[in-house]
């Protein structure tokens, strides 16, 4: 039985390969690309620097496996291949910065350590060619792949919601969300857990749109939306967003192979009549279908639907993917549904009606007040939305009202990357949890 996970005394220190402390850089909220990242990666080796972590007390070699005992009484078993491949000493290289010399092709499948010993709480292995690898107890425990360790990494669950979110909308003040510390982590967690978070007191300066986006990652430019898209009614509209018509909840750009990850909305002007923002949790619908209409759920997770978008002479987009994507544990990982962009179904003839019935079951829930949270986003507020989970829409409004929302997108990989880095400093035992990788 695994002991309870430990946490570092202050969460701030890491250690280099010689055991000396190195400064933690924390989260970087403002960089936009690799060229702007100035943080140096110190070579930490197989060590996390968690002071009160269990240390190694004993080890034995058993064929192609190595048994390791820790001070908390836990005994874990590691494959010799796994240990050799995961040596992150200066000679083998560090995958954290992409400088790696030892790969799977560098050693034979039957490799076994020539010797194993415990030195100052570390596991030290000597390989047949004389190479010496050192693994700290905290690194081994954090990266172990026994059942208990994998359960810890798989422990995160989304908080699914329906219309009740309207009365208890996840919200963070801009001053807190941008503090680079606990307030920012709170905003990140709300976006991770609910798939949506409102940012209050952002202000109506258009420059704040990009600042809000940069909080979670660099803006992703697309052909359809460009870099930052001004959503307001126009006399001649190229997209439905630039009219006053109602918009049913949808995932943005479902016709892309990789749809935008995080939608960044910034309200500059709104109207008092109409123009309500509507949100639907696709994961909640998926779980409803799993329990109430399992045949529809199976069809939507196994059969592809087609989304299309074409601007003649510019671009012709087409994607084929299940409406509901599942992860390795059978949990929803991503939703892909944009009813107005749904193309002709392309599945075996005996599956067409079944798939239409399943899509209708999903769509009926999506349009139901039971699943819809509706709020009026006020000028100076921002909203961050996981576009692979939460569908967004709006009610109709007068095109002459001047309603003006700015929109841009950030890849969810970038958001998850910043979440992990900030968590590693403030809450290290949640930084490596498995997160849904999208549709």
Whether the Cβ atoms of residue 52 and residue 8 lie closer than 8 Å to each other: yes
CATH topology of domain 163-430: Double-stranded beta-helix (3.60.130)
- The SS3 call for residue 131 is coil
Phi then psi for residue 265, to 5 deg, are -110, 140
All structural domains of the chain with their residue ranges: 13-153, 163-430
Which H or E run includes 151? helix 147-153
Whether the Cβ atoms of residue 278 and residue 413 lie closer than 8 Å to each other: no
13-153 and 163-430: identical CATH topology: no
Nearest alpha-carbon partner for 77 in 61, 53, 54, 55: 61
- The SS3 call for residue 75 is strand
CA distances (Å), origin 257, targets 184, 317, 354, 438 = 30, 9, 24, 11
pLDDT in tens, 3-35: 333 332 333 333 333 333 333 333 444 444 545
pLDDT in tens, 386-437: 999 999 999 998 888 989 999 999 999 999 999 999 998 898 888 899 999 9
How many CA atoms, within 13 angstroms, populate the side-chain half-sphere of residue 83?
A: 30
Nearest alpha-carbon partner for 170 in 385, 410, 371: 385
How many CA atoms, within 13 angstroms, populate the side-chain half-sphere of residue 91?
A: 8
pLDDT in tens, 161-205: 999 999 999 999 999 999 999 999 999 999 999 999 999 999 999
Per-residue pLDDT 10s for the chain (439 aa) are 333 333 323 333 333 333 333 333 334 444 445 456 666 677 789 998 877 789 999 999 999 999 999 999 999 999 999 999 999 999 999 878 878 899 999 999 999 999 999 999 999 999 999 999 999 999 999 999 999 999 999 999 999 999 999 999 999 999 999 999 999 999 999 999 999 999 999 999 999 999 999 999 999 998 777 899 998 877 655 677 777 788 999 999 999 999 999 999 999 999 999 999 999 999 999 999 999 999 999 999 999 999 999 988 888 999 999 999 999 999 999 999 999 999 999 999 999 999 999 999 999 999 999 999 999 999 999 999 999 999 999 999 888 898 999 999 999 999 999 999 999 889 888 889 999 999 9
Pick the CATH number of 13-153 from 3.90.580.10, 3.30.2020.30, 3.40.640.10, 3.40.50.1220: 3.30.2020.30
Q: Per the structure block, which two tokens stand in for 230?
A: 């001004």
CB-based burial label for 283 (10 Å; 0-12, 13-18, 19+) = buried
Rounded to an integer, what distance in angstroms lies between the CA atom of residue 192 and that of residue 195? 5
Phi then psi for residue 427, to 5 deg, are -155, 70
Query: What pTM did the predictor assign?
Result: 0.88
Whether the Cβ atoms of residue 131 and residue 93 lie closer than 8 Å to each other: no
Rounded to an integer, what distance in angstroms lies between the CA atom of residue 101 and that of residue 87? 10
Which region holds residue 398: left if phi is over 0, alpha if psi is between -120 and 50, else beta?
A: beta
Q: Per the structure block, which two tokens stand in for 424?
A: 């590693």
- Taking residue 82's Cβ as centre, other Cβ atoms within 10 Å add up to 12
């Amino acid at each position: 039985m695994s002991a309870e996970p430990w946490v570092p005394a202050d969460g701030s220190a890491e250690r280099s390969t010689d055991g000396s402390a190195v400064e933690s850089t924390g989260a970087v909220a403002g960089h936009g690309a690799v060229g702007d990242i100035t943080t140096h990666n110190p070579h930490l080796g197989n060590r996390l620097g968690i002071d009160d972590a269990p240390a190694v007390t004993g080890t034995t070699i058993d064929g192609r496996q190595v048994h390791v005992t820790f001070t908390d009484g836990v005994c874990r078993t590691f494959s010799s291949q796994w240990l050799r491949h995961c040596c992150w000493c200066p000679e083998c290289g560090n995958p954290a910065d992409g400088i790696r010399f030892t790969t799977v092709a560098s050693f034979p499948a039957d490799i076994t350590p020539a010797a194993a010993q415990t030195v100052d709480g570390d596991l030290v292995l000597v390989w047949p060619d004389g190479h010496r690898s050192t693994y700290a107890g905290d690194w081994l425990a954090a990266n172990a792949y026994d059942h208990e360790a994998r359960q810890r990494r798989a422990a995160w669950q989304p908080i699914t919601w329906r219309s009740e979110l309207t009365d208890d909308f996840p919200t963070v003040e801009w001053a807190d969300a941008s503090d680079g510390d606990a307030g920012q982590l709170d905003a990140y967690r709300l976006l991770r857990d609910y798939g949506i978070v409102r940012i209050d007191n952002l202000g109506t300066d258009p420059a704040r749109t990009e600042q809000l986006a940069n909080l979670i990652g660099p803006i992703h430019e697309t052909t359809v939306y460009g870099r930052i898209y001004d959503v307001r009614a126009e006399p001649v509209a190229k997209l439905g967003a630039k009219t006053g018509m109602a918009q049913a909840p949808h995932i943005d750009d479902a016709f892309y192979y990789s749809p935008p990850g995080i939608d960044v909305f910034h309200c500059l002007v709104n109207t008092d009549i109409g123009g309500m923002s509507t949100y639907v949790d696709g994961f909640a619908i998926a779980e409803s279908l799993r329990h109430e209409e399992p045949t529809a759920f199976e069809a939507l997770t196994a059969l592809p639907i087609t989304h299309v978008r074409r601007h003649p002479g510019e671009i012709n987009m087409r994607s084929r993917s299940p409406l509901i994507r599942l992860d390795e544990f059978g949990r929803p990982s991503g939703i892909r549904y944009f009813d107005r962009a749904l193309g002709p179904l392309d599945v075996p003839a005996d599956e067409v009606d079944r798939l239409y019935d399943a899509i209708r079951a999903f769509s009926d829930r999506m349009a139901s007040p039971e699943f819809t949270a509706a709020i009026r986003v006020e000028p100076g507020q921002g909203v961050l939305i996981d576009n692979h989970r939460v569908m967004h829409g709006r009610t109709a409004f007068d095109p002459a009202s001047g309603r003006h929302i700015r929109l841009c997108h950030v890849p969810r990989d970038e958001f998850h990357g910043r979440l992990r880095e900030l968590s590693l400093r403030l809450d290290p035992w949640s930084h490596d949890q498995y997160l849904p990788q999208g549709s």
